[in-house]
Amino acid sequence: MESSGFTIQETNQVIQKTNKMTAKEVVEAYSIALSKGDIKTAFSYFSPDAKWHQPGSNKFSGTKSGLDAIGKMLSDMMGATHGSLVIKPTSVLMVNGNFVSCPVRFNAKNGDKTVDMNGNDLYEVVDGKIIQVWLFSEDQPTEDEFWK
């Protein structure tokens, strides 16, 4: 992944804005940007050294550290599904301090395989930045099989 593409002034504006946002507002803003395909803005809500904990026993499983590794994993997932991967919130965001839980439904096609199931994404937000993400799947063995 290359540099953010933000000017110093734009970076300072994002920092000022995110430092005033609640954990819920940060996750909402990230989700909105992602749903619009605005990856640059979506990733601006992450700490540069964020960790992403992808569940299961498949080629994407494990902890990814830093925006380059997270971006590569998400890009590879979109490539494997020919852009068909869709993740949609299914209920309200729930907050406990710096943690935000987002119930989701995700679906995708990978060759002749499909996946369509519920999940939960758990975000930890500190100082206006997402520092960790944990994903949970309704049926991890089925999801693992999908990604093989």
Q: What is the CATH number of the domain that holds 81?
A: 3.10.450.50
Query: How many distinct structural domains can be found in the chain?
Result: 1
SS3 113: strand
Tell me if 120 is assigned to some domain: yes
Tell me if 2 is assigned to some domain: no
Does position 20 have pLDDT exceeding 70, yes or no? yes
For residue 69, what are the domain limits?
8-147
Q: Which two tokens stand for residue 93?
A: 């965001």
Q: Classify residue 35 by its DSSP letter.
A: H
Tell me if 19 is assigned to some domain: yes
Does position 2 have pLDDT exceeding 80, yes or no? no
Does position 7 have pLDDT exceeding 80, yes or no? no
Q: How confident is the model at residue 36 (pLDDT cuts 50, 70, 90)?
A: confident
Quick: pLDDT tens for 109-147. Answer: 999 999 999 999 999 999 999 999 999 999 999 999 999
Q: Classify residue 66 by its DSSP letter.
A: S
Tell me if 71 is assigned to some domain: yes
**Bridge partners, 125 (sequence order):** 130
Tell me if 1 is assigned to some domain: no
